[in-house]
Amino acid sequence: MQPRDLNAEIKQLQKEIRILARKLERSETDRARLEITNRNKESLLKRVIGELQTSQVILEKKGADLEQAFNELSLMQTKLVEVETMAALGSLVAGVAHEISTPVGTSITLASTLMDETQLLLAGLKSGQLRRSLLNNYIEIAQESASLILSNLNRAGALVQSFKQVAVDQSSLEKRTFRVKPYLEEVMISLSPQFKQTLHTIAVKGDDAIEIDSYPGALAQIATNLVTNSLLHAYLPNEQGILWFEVIQQNEYILIQYSDDGMGIPENILSKVFEPFFTTAREKGGTGLGLHIAYNLVTQKLQGRMDLESEVGKGTQFNIRLPQSIHV
């Protein structure tokens, strides 16, 4: 090797020794620093884990509290549905009682008239002064009143029948197979007192023969709530509305469309009407539960679906789709 090369190599080696010595020195201080960093990290992480455990316990407790609150709420909801059912039943009884009192009252009047006439006839018979004309007159009156009494009592009987049907269904939870259209008609008869003071007409359209195996009481409740809403919200006083149900069979589903041609529901509240306690008629005694209960009955008890369309100024339509038979 040339002395020049050797010289360069020595220089290079010297440089490397300098660098190594400095690196060694540096790594000592760095190691000390790293140890601190790591020790700090360890205790920091221990603390954070501790905090996480505490907050997990708190969260678990909160979760349990929430679950309890939720259970309480569901219970309350069921109760509310029941309360509403009972309230509707009450007004139904009042309505039906009012309805029956007319034919029964008429029958009483007619019967007492008949009794008076019979008394007169008997008195004539006793005195032996019974004239032919009097007898003929009595027979006429008796026939007329008897037939009026009969028809009035028949009407009362029919009312009692339909009331019994609805009332039983309202309170009982029984499931049975029934024809949808006739049943809705019966429910409408029980609502007729409420129509008396209005100019509205109500109709049920569709095939009489369509049957469903479901809970009639729930359906009566739903129909009642929808019609009551139209009467309460859809029209101005003295307006003449047309309200109608349409029953349609669609494969294994029964579609029940209920429509009114009232003022409709503004777009901005359309999504809220099914919410519990949403009402625009609080001052008129609305609780905002009617549609909520109807919705719950459709979707839960009757395992169906319910939605609505509405256009301001044109009217509102509720679409209810029910399975033809319910699995219990």
Ligand X SMILES: Nc1ncnc2c1ncn2[C@@H]1O[C@H](COP(=O)(O)OP(=O)(O)OP(=O)(O)O)[C@@H](O)[C@H]1O
Is residue 40 involved in binding other proteins (CB under 8 A)?
yes
The separation between CA 188 and the C-alpha centre of its own chain, rounded to angstroms, equals 18
48 part of the interface to other proteins, by CB under 8 A: yes
- Binder to other proteins among 7, 13, 22, 311 (CB under 8 A)? 22
Residue 8 touching other proteins (CB under 8 A): no
DSSP string, 205-249: EE-TT-EEEE-HHHHHHHHHHHHHHIIIII--TT---EEEEEEEE
Q: Tell me which of 124, 182, 193, 288 binds ligand X, using CB under 6 A.
A: 288
CB of 53 to other proteins, least distance (A): 12
Binds other proteins by CB under 8 A, chosen from 9, 28, 51, 116: 51
Instruction: Pick the binder of ligand X from 279, 296, 297, 320 (CB under 6 A).
Output: 279
Give yes or no for a contact between 264 and 310, defined as CB atoms under 8 angstroms apart: yes
- Contact call for residue 26 and other proteins (CB under 8 A): yes
Task: State which residue, 19 or 281, has the beta carbon closest to other proteins.
Answer: 19
Binding to other proteins by residue 34, rule CB under 8 A? yes
Least distance from C-beta 33 to other proteins, angstroms? 6
Q: Does 80 sit near ligand X (CB under 6 A)?
A: no
Q: What size, in residues, is the chain? A: 328
The one-letter amino acid at 96: V
Distance CA 286, CA 117 (A): 52
Choose, by CB under 8 A, the member of 6, 8, 28, 43 that binds other proteins: 43
- Residues 294 and 224: their CA atoms lie apart, in Å, by 9
Contact 305, 320 (CB under 8 A): yes
- Among 6, 28, 41, 281, the residue binding other proteins under the rule CB under 8 A is 41
10 binds other proteins (CB under 8 A): no
79 binds, among other proteins, Mg ion, ligand X, none (CB under 5 to 8 A by kind): none
Q: How far is the CB of 316 from ligand X (least distance, A)?
A: 4
What is the footprint of Mg ion within residues 221-250 (CB under 5 A)? 229
285 — alpha (psi -120 to 50), left (phi > 0) or beta?
A: left
Contact partner, 278, from other proteins, ligand X, Mg ion, none, Cβ < 5-8 Å per class? ligand X
Q: Quote the tokens at residue 106.
A: 């008429």
Q: How many CB atoms lie within 10 A of CB 222?
A: 28
Cα separation of 306 and 295, whole Å? Answer: 6
Largest CA distance in the chain: 177
Closest approach, Cβ 110 to Mg ion, in A, equals 40
Residue 140: partners with Cβ closer than 8 Å, 6 or more residues away: none
Please give the Cα distance from 217 to 175 (Å, whole number).
9
- Does residue 206 bind ligand X (CB under 6 A)? no
Residues within the interface to ligand X (CB under 6 A)? 229-230, 232-234, 260, 262, 265, 273, 278-281, 286-292, 316
Residues within the interface to Mg ion (CB under 5 A)? 229, 290
